[in-house]
Amino acid sequence: MILKVDKVTKNFGGVTAIKETSFSVAPKEIYGLIGPNGAGKTTMFNIITGNYEASEGEVFFRNETLHGLKPHQIVRRGVARTFQNIRLFKSMSVLDNVLIGFDFQARYSFAESILRLPRFFGEEKRIRAKAMEILKYLGIEKFAEHKATDLSYGQQRKVEIARALATNPELLLLDEPAAGMNPAETKELADLIYKAREDFDLTVLLIEHDMKFVNQLCDRVLVLDYGKSIFEGKPSDAIKDPEVVAAYLGDFIHD
């Protein structure tokens, strides 16, 4: 397994956001974390990416613990993410936002950048070309010099995905990638993620509320409710599970 979450618990004071949750994700799998609002999904993302430290349990990436690592160190291991609320640098262009993702891959020293030596310019040219390739792949290369926040909501989502891809991840975490998109944009995004899995050799872990999107895309899902796992399996089976339906809709009579 490329990712293993082992009995993770997260407490905030007297509130337990995640309780003894375990799951594993296989290489090249598209795995969904679903559940009602407040179920602990984004908290789990924050634990995996080093923004929060688990109160108990551990997270392993390629059989190595991520415990104690800072977010930037986890990115360097090969884990990238997007956010529920889009986080772009508002004053920067689309291209510059993506170039930030290449920051730790630059093959020149600090001195070479200060002195503007030949290797610095060669590396900058190489990185800009790779950034443009990613933008072209996502169909937004024509917006490269536009201010990122001038783009539509759906296009900004793609910029954030482009920046994550620029870090050359093995595991990509997407937090509600289809939020705010219309049905056509959602279908296009699902097709794009499915294709990117092969083209970028990715494993994908996503949070999403749009069950049509999840059904179309995910190989398996884990359903959380009040921080506890209540179902793991195929999306088509999740929507028929009485406990899952109750978590989303409240008490009901199941025939």
Question: What percent of the chain has pLDDT above 70?
Answer: 89
Separation of alpha carbons 71 and 51, rounded Å: 6
pLDDT tens, residue by residue, 110-159: 444 454 545 555 667 788 889 999 999 999 999 999 998 899 888 898 99
Instruction: For the chain, give the DSSP string.
Output: --EEEEEEEEEETTEEEEEEEEEEE-TT-EEEEE-STTSSHHHHHHHHTTSS--SEEEEEETTEE-TT--HHHHHHHTEEE--SS----TTSBHHHHHHGGGGGG--S-HHHHHHT-HHHHHHHHHHHHHHHHHHHHTT-GGGTTSBGGGS-HHHHHHHHHHHHHTT--SEEEEESTTTT--HHHHHHHHHHHHHHHHHTT-EEEEE-S-HHHHHHH-SEEEEEETTEEEEEE-HHHHTT-HHHHHHHH-S----
Same domain for 251 and 177? yes
Same domain? 153 vs 100:
yes
Reported as a single tens digit per residue, the pLDDT across 92-104 is 899 999 988 877 6
Is pLDDT above 90 for 251? Answer: no
> For position 25, which CATH number holds?
3.40.50.300
Q: Which domain holds residue 141?
A: 90-167
End-of-domain residue from the set 110, 137, 167: 167
Does one domain contain both 99 and 137? Answer: yes
pLDDT digits (tens, 9 = 90+) for 33-83: 998 888 899 999 999 999 999 999 999 999 999 999 999 999 999 999 998
Number of structural domains (the chain) is 2
Query: Which of 143, 167, 191 finishes a domain?
Result: 167
